[in-house]
Amino acid sequence: MMPQPTNDRLLRALRRQPVDVTPVWLMRQAGRYLPEYRKVREQVGSFMDLCRTPELACEVTLQPLRRFPLDAAILFSDILTIPDAMGLGVSFVEGEGPRLAHPVRSIRDIDALGVPDPDRDLGYVMGAVRLIRHELGGRVPLIGFSGSPWTLATYLLEGGSSRDFRLTKTFLYEHRSHCHRMLQVLANAVSAYLVAQVHAGAQALMIFDTWGGILTPRDYRAFSLAYMQQIVQNVKAYDASVPIILFTKGGAAWLEAMTDTGCDALSLDWTTDIGVARTRVGERVALQGNLDPLVLYASPAVIRAEVSELLASFGPGSGHVFNLGHGLQPDMPIDHVAALVEAVHDLSPIYHQ
């Protein structure tokens, strides 16, 4: 039996149960802005090697928790572990982002895609999850995650990052049924991957739909949201109790539809007023977010004022997990991150009396 968390604010807030303080964690809370992360990173040849070594992935997962009283840990990994396990050859070029050695360029490439076996092909991730749970010793819950099928599909089609998603969109508009076929494989892969993470010890899950916001509303529903809904159903069939957070960057207009998937929480980017979002969907899901990460370049006093305003916008009651609207950047000052976490814990108790 694994120990249960003693700080269960995150899980309670995701279930909209009463909490003493608004829980806070930060997207990319483990990463390059921490010198201790950079030190570990230097020990391995590549970024993927870091992800593939459970001891090191565990170490960098825990680093931010030693500095800040965060209310959750999130598995240190990358959304491209699945394409890598599919044999597409993921690597990271410094300053240029990810590269796939074998991008999807034809219908034949799609037909060749297989669903990785999480324990065999992604065993290093499950090893990291088990190790982190053990090392956490129940102090805070551990969040597992995956990219959404649509977001993974953009990397498969572009062979990396993109500014305009020309290859993705051309394929989407020209070959809709083949696009669906690819997304179904990816949805099966993500479902199996997340179920395995829960089996290994992840206590909450987040699906990062980083590129859902580039779609039209029609195509978002058909090509991104529908597959995330399948995943939610598959994971819930395995374990109905594990909270699932959906995050579509640029998805402010689609919160109601996202809620219909049966997920437990929506993560919001900073272009939504969280109070308005709560009136729209807050009776059905918890909300995570949504400070503009660029606020972290401003002074601690400004950070505290912005945290205060965001907490007030959500208002009294549970169902809020404080976070950024997008990830921390490598050049963000550590003491500003500390000021943010401190402000959330200092200023939120009045909303939970």
Q: Which of residues 290-309 bind a second copy (CB under 8 A)?
A: 292, 294-295, 297-299, 302, 306, 309
CB contact set of 290 (below 8 Å; sequence gap of 6+): 267, 268, 269, 270, 272, 274, 310, 323, 324, 325
Q: Which of residues 215-234 bind a second copy (CB under 8 A)?
A: 215-218
Q: Which position among 16, 28, 133, 278 bears the catalytic label? A: 28
Binding segment for a second copy among 4-12, 47-55, 119-127, 161-169 (CB under 8 A)?
Answer: 161-169
Residue 272 binds a second copy (CB under 8 A): yes
Residue 253 binds a second copy (CB under 8 A): yes
Considering just the CA atoms, what is the radius of gyration of the chain in Å? Answer: 19
Question: What residue ranges in 4-96 does DSSP mark as E strands?
Answer: 73-74, 90-93
Residue 334 binds a second copy (CB under 8 A): no
Tokens read off for 86: 């599919």
CB of 235 to a second copy, least distance (A): 28
Q: Which residue has the tokens 């297989």?
A: 114
Residue 124 annotated as catalytic: no
- 252-277: b or e for each residue (b if 16 or more CB lie within 10 Å)? bebbebbbebebbbbbbbbebbbeeb
CB of 87 or CB of 250, closer to a second copy: 250
Name the nearest CA neighbour of 71 among 353, 323, 339, 351: 323
Identity of the residue numbered 260: D
Q: Which of residues 87-146 bind a second copy (CB under 8 A)?
A: none
Contact 113, 83 (CB under 8 A): no
CB of 1 to a second copy, least distance (A): 44
Residue 284 annotated as catalytic: no
Number of residues that bind a second copy (CB under 8 A): 31
- Interface ranges with a second copy (CB under 8 A): 164-166, 169-170, 173-174, 213-218, 250, 252-253, 270-273, 276, 292, 294-295, 297-299, 302, 306, 309, 329
